Amino acid sequence: MLLGVVRSGLVESRHPVTVAAVDGGGNVVLLAGETPGTAFFLRSAAKPFQVAVSQRNGAALAPEQLAVAAGSHGGQPVHVALVEEMLASAGLGPEHLLCPPARPASESALCNPAVGVAEPHRLFHNCSGKHAAMLRACEAQGWPLTYTDPAHPLQQEILAEVGASTGEPPGPVGVDGCGVPTFRGTVVGLARAFARLATDPALAPVAAAMSRFTPLTSDGDRGEAELARWCPAAVKGGAQGCVGVAWLGGLGVAAKCWTGEASPALAAVCLTLRRLGILSEHAWEMLAPIAHPAVTGGGRPVGHLEVLEDLP
């Protein structure tokens, strides 16, 4: 599958994308694009499974907390407040977080007077919810708080969870931007994992929280949150252009843009959901800004993202 930026009627750039859809039984119902067997780091797309392991080990998160822990938040006041409460109620503080200090990922949060702090802080890091959940699990189990170590009992259990969900070897592991281990998989493996997120009762609380509180999993104005609004689903993107969708009707869809761009992967997922009859005509129209986003120049639309090679 090939998507491209068409500016002023000419193709400016091309973005090869692989997309897959897997049903609740693990059957591949759609696969398009080049190099579908190539493994890549799942990055933040693995967060639903990481937080599920933390929850299973005593993190005891409420639905809103599950949503922010499974997401990549924008550093809005509500995100920071939820993470602070997750830590405080377990007798922990921001100093226990092992993610690096950061500024809010959201432009609107940076401009929000309620944020009140311009300097980088660990609470602002988009992964601080996931880290807080891991800390709570460590406290509950009596494990060391050195939870970023790949040999840590929590990380070993997460490694097994990701492998069981994707049906693929999750290693060799790398180090994610926030410092925790990150795992490998293919597009089919990621789709298989999100199919499990959509259908496995053990993962239902995480999927429900992500679907119900979509602004907490991102920032409310990112493409993945918009897709979750119009398609009852848990949606999670990862760095370098990957995204997984757990359609609560029983299907997992995943895409990877091999140039590392997020928007072509999200557009491919939208098109796949449309072709599978999941998105209604009205939903498709409302998702136009992410399904075929406009390209601006001089303050006006001068092009758009479109599929250059269609699905089979």
> What is the pLDDT, as a whole number, of residue 116?
56
pLDDT of residue 113: 66
In angstroms, the CA 43 to CA 273 distance is 23
Place of tokens 């679907």: 211
Give the tokens for residue 40: 């890549």
Q: What is the pLDDT of residue 5?
A: 83
pLDDT of residue 213: 94
Query: Digits of tens for pLDDT over the chain (312 positions)?
Result: 888 888 888 998 999 999 999 999 999 999 999 888 999 999 999 999 999 999 999 999 999 999 999 999 999 999 999 999 999 999 999 999 999 999 888 877 777 666 655 689 999 999 999 999 999 999 999 999 999 999 999 999 999 999 999 999 999 999 999 999 999 999 999 999 999 999 999 999 999 999 999 999 988 778 899 999 899 999 999 999 999 999 999 999 999 999 999 999 999 999 999 999 999 999 999 999 999 888 899 999 999 888 887 655
The candidate with the shortest Cα–Cα distance to 188, out of 15, 41, 39, 16, is 39
Cα 248 from Cα 291, distance rounded (Å): 20
| Residues 219 and 71: beta-carbon distance below 8 Å | no
According to the model, what pLDDT value does residue 51 have?
A: 98
Q: pTM for the whole thing?
A: 0.94
Cα-Cα-Cα-Cα dihedral sign, residues 54, 188, 246, 291: positive
Question: Omega before 264 cis (within 30°)?
Answer: no
283 φ/ψ angles, rounded to the nearest 5 degrees = -60, -40
CA-closest candidate to residue 278, choices 166, 208, 198, 167: 198
Q: For residue 255, list its beta bridge partners.
A: 19, 243
| Geometric angle at alpha carbon 225, from 182 and 265, rounded to 5° | 60
- pLDDT in the model for residue 290: 93
- DSSP codes, the chain: -EEEEEETTEEEEEEEEEEEEEETTS-EEEEESS-TT--EE-GGGGHHHHHHHHIIIII---HHHHHHHSS-----HHHHHHHHHHHHTTT--GGG--SPPB--S-HHHHT-TTT---S-BGGGSTTHHHHHHHHHHHHHHT--S-TTSTTSHHHHHHHHHHHHHHTS---S-EE-TTSSEE-EE-HHHHHHHHHHHHH-GGGHHHHHHHHHTHHHHS-SSSHHHHHHHHTTEEEEEETTTEEEEEETTTEEEEEEETT--HHHHHHHHHHHHHHTT-S-HHHHHHTHHHHS-EEEETTEEEEEEEEEE---
Are 18 and 259 in contact, with CB atoms under 8 Å apart? no
* β-pair partners for 300: 297
Rounded to 5 degrees, φ, ψ at 117 are -130, 120
